[in-house]
Amino acid sequence: MEDNVCLGKEVEPPNEETEPPGRVVQLSIFPTIGLTDNRSRTQPLGPRRRNRRSESRFPNENAAFSINPRADAFRRTHFPRVSTAEWNDWRWQLRNRIQDREALARIIRLSDDELKAVTSGRGPLPVAITPYYASLLDCNDPSQPVRRCVVPVDREYFHHPCETEDPLGEEKDSQLPNLVHRYPDRVLFLVTGYCSTYCRYCTRSRMVGNRGTYRFGHREWDRAIEYIERTPTIRDVLLSGGDPLTLPNDHLKWLLSRLRRIPHVEFLRIGTKVPVVLPQRVTMGLVRMLKQYHPLWMSIHFTHPDELTPETAHACTRLADAGIPLGSQTVLLSGVNDNVETMTRLFHGLLKIRVKPYYLYQCDPIPGSSHFRTPVSKGLEIIRGLRGFTSGYAVPTYVIDAPGGGGKVPLLPEYVAGRDGDDLLLRNYAGDLYRYPDPAGNTGESAGSGFRMCSGPLKE
């Protein structure tokens, strides 16, 4: 399988980064993350000479995309010969990803655990981090949440017996190698195996990053679209991968236009992490193209509040202003975001940039993920700590994607406390009991339901 990102081949209008009148985003409202200075021990990662041909081809292309102070300090330290225009060019970001031990060692002080993992290179998932996302990493602290998400550790090579390469059973529900048809009215269309940045807990580590027999291209896309065309029950198509937004605009346009022409396809979605790890990709040219294919929704993979930078806010603003509803998908990860305070900061921050917290996932049991997985009780504890204590819009649905192909199973803390005669007993977020008249119901009966009668003061 070859990467299907055609760098440098996409042509967009010269003014693709010009903001519409009145839509200049005020980036200063978002706090920056403290930067640990390590200038004394680093060498520049950029080219020794500025190659003016590598500058953005259009002078206005990236002018509206500012660099936050932390990222700018990182650029000046590690890429001192790289201009602002180059840094803000998403193609430059992809060409200059950090992908090996030497490059990692220049930007962070590798722990023994990390060094052993990146030296061995035995895992199924390669290392790749965009320079932009690398600017968020703490160079001295291997326990920093965002660093743990993208830098491998030796525990990735410990495989628990419960772990499998395809924990969700996607392949058994695949009508074609790249098309998963599990639910009656929707399909998962895997259009690429390429990501700009690889998360260490990736559900599809078996197929992304040039590490498998999977192929992605027009031939595979044609076959998948033909299946969708001849299956009238399909009304919802989710484009995923890999990351669809790493495709050039003309490839995305081809896919979306073909799908939009199918009469029974009502709803298109894109699953992506690009606004988080490569926000520069969200150009005005991309946004103008996407808005032609409404109704189009987008699910964005957010993990930690440190990812809520001005650049990511800017990217989400562009998408939201184009009428694209945005939802977040967050994986619950041990030592990364497994507490109420972190999740509250993340979900509140997402609402401020017009992203609705959508799903909170229990980490899938892929090989080498045991150090990321939390007890299920931890997820329920977080939902209990959110529900009622903050806006309902800030509370995602906590789900386990049932291993073996069972699909998403939602989980909630128990709020049904039992029954008292014709009344259903309910426990609210504060732990108080209330009655609801339910004379014809049987919810809360202890026999066969798992609910128990609760004692304590009742509020009428």
Q: What is the mean pLDDT of residues 421-440?
A: 93
Residues 351 and 318 grouped into a single domain: yes
CB-count exposure of residue 89 (10 Å: 0-12, 13-18, 19+): buried
96-138 pLDDT, tens digit per residue, is 999 999 999 999 999 999 999 888 766 667 889 999 999 999 9
CATH number at 180 reads: 3.20.20.70
pLDDT band at 60 (very low <50, low <70, confident <90, very high): very low
Residues 248 and 389 grouped into a single domain: yes
Flag whether 454 is marked binding: no
pLDDT band at 234 (very low <50, low <70, confident <90, very high): very high
In the predicted structure, residue 3 carries a pLDDT above the cut 50 = no
Catalytic residue list? 182-183, 186, 195, 199, 202, 204, 364, 401, 408
pLDDT of the residue at 407:
81
Helix (H) or strand (E) holding 102: helix 101-107
Residue 15 lies in a domain: no
pLDDT band at 2 (very low <50, low <70, confident <90, very high): very low
CA distance 306 to 316: 15
Residue ending a domain, choose from 411, 426, 441? 411
Residues 109 and 233 grouped into a single domain: no
Residues 241 and 360 grouped into a single domain: yes
pLDDT band at 346 (very low <50, low <70, confident <90, very high): very high
Strands, E assignment, 191-323: 236-240, 267-272, 296-301
Q: What is the mean pLDDT of residues 344-366?
A: 93
CB-count exposure of residue 244 (10 Å: 0-12, 13-18, 19+): buried
Question: What is the total count of domains within the chain?
Answer: 3
pLDDT of the residue at 403:
84
Flag whether 162 is marked binding: no
More confident residue, 313 or 176: 313
Name the DSSP class of 390. B
Sheet holding 186-190, edge to edge: 174-176, 179-180, 186-190, 236-240, 267-272, 296-301, 326-332, 356-362, 397-402, 407-411
In the predicted structure, residue 91 carries a pLDDT above the cut 90 = yes
Find where tokens 């027009």 sit: 218
pLDDT band at 32 (very low <50, low <70, confident <90, very high): very low
Residues 175 and 147 grouped into a single domain: no
Residue 2 lies in a domain: no
Q: What is the mean pLDDT of residues 71-98?
A: 96
Flag whether 139 is marked binding: no
pLDDT of the residue at 167:
72
DSSP 200-236: TT-TTTTTSSS-SS---SHHHHHHHHHHHHT-TT--E
Percent helix / strand / coil, the chain, rounded to 5: 30, 15, 50
The parent domain of residue 177 ranges over 171-411
pLDDT of the residue at 124:
64
pLDDT band at 163 (very low <50, low <70, confident <90, very high): low
